[in-house]
Amino acid sequence: MDLVIRDVTVVDGTGQDSYRADVGVTDGRIDAIRRHGPGAGAPLSGARVLDADGLALAPGFIDMHAHSDLALLRDPDHSAKAAQGVTLEVIGQDGLSYAPVDDTTLAEVRRAITGWNGGGPGDTSVDFDWRTVGEYLDRLDHGFDGRGIAVNAAYLVPQGTVRMYAVGQDDRPATPAELDRMRQLVAESLEQGAVGMSSGLTYTPGMYADDAELTELCRVVACYDGYYCPHHRSYGAGALRAYEEMVDLTRTAGCALHLAHATMNFGVNKGKAPDLIALLDKALDAGADISLDTYPYTPGCTTLVAMLPSWASAGGQDAILERLRDASTAEKIRHHMEEIGADGCHGVPIEWDTIEISGVADPALTAYVGRTIAETARLRGESGWLTARKLLIDDRLGSTILQHVGHEENVREIMRHRVHTGGSDGILQGAKPHPRAYGTFPQYLGRYVRELGVLSLEECVAHLTSRPAARLGLTDRGLVREGYRADLVVFDPATVAAGSTFASPRTLPVGVPHVLIDGRFVIEDGRRTDVLAGRSVRRTDRP
């Protein structure tokens, strides 16, 4: 065999009890598993033997909600994910990404999500030489000089980008011809390898789609055995109704549903995780096909412009800036945000002391980073809205934020659910990104398994491996099983922990000495190798 991992505790992803074994790898797949105990037979032998006594072996972790769409093409190291044990990321999230596009749509998307991924006007770190989903996935496969990318990636066709392509940025219903064009774009994207469709229903222009339009697109997704992954219309005042809307919509369309970053945030939802769980259990018991992902932290992360009311975001970036510069329109925006509760802020009046700036597009504005809007406003002797308005204009809408509105009891309750999976929602941009980008998976294993006992080790690993693999329809990943791909992580259950904190968000984790993709070490003895074993994982690869 190429490699034998000897005397390791196997946490195989099934949720069943762990066991001691030797695991052999040949040609990128798990070749043999020899359990220890009476009658086990001779030890496995190989060209290389890794002594893993005291360590655990699990399938590689699958990040069900990632924002590495450009990072995978910009950064061959990508230790933010590789060092956590992540071997597969699902990108194209929240309804906005870079394919399918034409030249005009690509330029608009690049501006719209600069805060998520960089890649804005003037950014030459990535050559945007694709237009279709198939071409983008080919670009991932080629990676760096044909060698690939750091970790594997699956792609969701982004409904907001599709709407921007077919309809534009206006807040209006699609015409029949435009809806047909959107159906065609979604179908073509799935035929080219997308695993499903995402939406960002608090982001423009995806939020302008009504339920009838979304249902029609989900019918297309269902025809290709994909799944729908919505960032739904509210995580605040209307959260339960928004979840119910997605459940009803996908059941009507006959489409599988995966709820993105399924949290219950803001003061109105404190202690209401059981209400969400009851809603989901009722639907599951009635036969609905539902899964969800969460990150193990309380604050959220998005862009500052996303907080605006939807009417203020119609027409795209230039139209937003024009409204912000106009004093009377800006006052109307302020009224909706501070007094009524804008839909961009989930129907809850914004509290500026919960909005922390995590990154800016313009380096001249770095003084904002690491402070809340309220704190900066006090230092300047001005209102929170005036500070926010100035920043939006000066940074040309490129600022990212941490939003401190979560509840620990909700986080713990939801992560216990039977259809829960792990997703980092990790935005890698900005001087002070959310630590979940670098720490989600060790945080689950260290804090919520070892320290708090919210999940057992075996159950938690199943949440991070076999459950997401099943949602993605992957039949040779997500388990430590003979014949499966050797996407594996070796970690120390006694020490594994997130190194990233809100103060030092880019610190790598501890207790994850080895990570393999297709049997090749991408992390070895705690250090990133130069191996680029990642490729696109396509719906069309399924047996």
Question: Residues 58-72: pLDDT tens digits?
Answer: 999 999 999 999 999
Helix (H) or strand (E) run with residue 438 in it: helix 436-443
Which tokens sit at 34?
Answer: 């020899």
Q: What percent of the chain has pLDDT over 90?
A: 96
pLDDT at residue 543 above 90?
no
Residue 18 CB coordination number (10 Å): 19
Residue 110 confidence class, pLDDT cut points 50, 70, 90: very high
- C-alpha 468: how far from chain center: 12
Rounded Cα distance between 313 and 331, Å, is: 15
Rounded Cα distance between 405 and 389, Å, is: 21
For the purposes of burial, counting CB atoms within 10 Å of the CB of 442, is it exposed (0-12), middle (13-18) or buried (19 or more)?
A: buried
| Sequence-distant (≥ 6) Cβ neighbours of residue 495 within 8 angstroms | 446, 510, 511
* Parallel/antiparallel/unpaired status of strands 196-200 and 520-524: unpaired
CA proximity to 383, closest of 392, 395, 374, 371: 374
pLDDT given at position 132: 98
Residue 536 confidence class, pLDDT cut points 50, 70, 90: very high
Give 488's strand partners.
Answer: 59, 516
Average pLDDT, the chain: 96
Rounded Cα distance between 303 and 339, Å, is: 21
pLDDT given at position 435: 97
45-97 pLDDT tens trace? 999 999 999 999 999 999 999 999 999 999 999 999 999 999 999 999 999 99
pLDDT given at position 42: 81
pLDDT at residue 404 above 80?
yes
Residue owning tokens 């990104």:
433
pLDDT given at position 424: 98
Rounded Cα distance between 428 and 339, Å, is: 32
Residue 122 confidence class, pLDDT cut points 50, 70, 90: confident
**Contact, 194 vs 95, CB < 8 A?**
no
Residue type, 407: H
pLDDT at residue 40 above 80?
no
280-339 pLDDT tens trace? 999 999 999 999 999 999 999 999 999 999 999 988 899 999 999 999 999 999 999 999
The residue-averaged pLDDT of 236-264 equals 97
SS3 of 403, please? Answer: strand
424-478 pLDDT tens trace? 999 999 899 999 999 999 999 999 999 999 999 999 999 999 999 999 999 999 9
SS3 of 420, please? Answer: strand
The residue-averaged pLDDT of 38-50 equals 88
SS3 of 485, please? Answer: strand
Rounded Cα distance between 194 and 304, Å, is: 29
**Contact, 302 vs 403, CB < 8 A?**
yes
Rounded Cα distance between 294 and 321, Å, is: 33
pLDDT at residue 400 above 80?
yes
**Contact, 477 vs 487, CB < 8 A?**
yes
pLDDT given at position 518: 98
Rounded Cα distance between 290 and 274, Å, is: 17
pLDDT given at position 161: 98
- C-alpha 361: how far from chain center: 21
The b-or-e profile of 474-494 (16+ CB within 10 A means b, else e) is: bebbbbbbeebbbbbbbbbbe
- C-alpha 495: how far from chain center: 25
**Contact, 56 vs 489, CB < 8 A?**
no
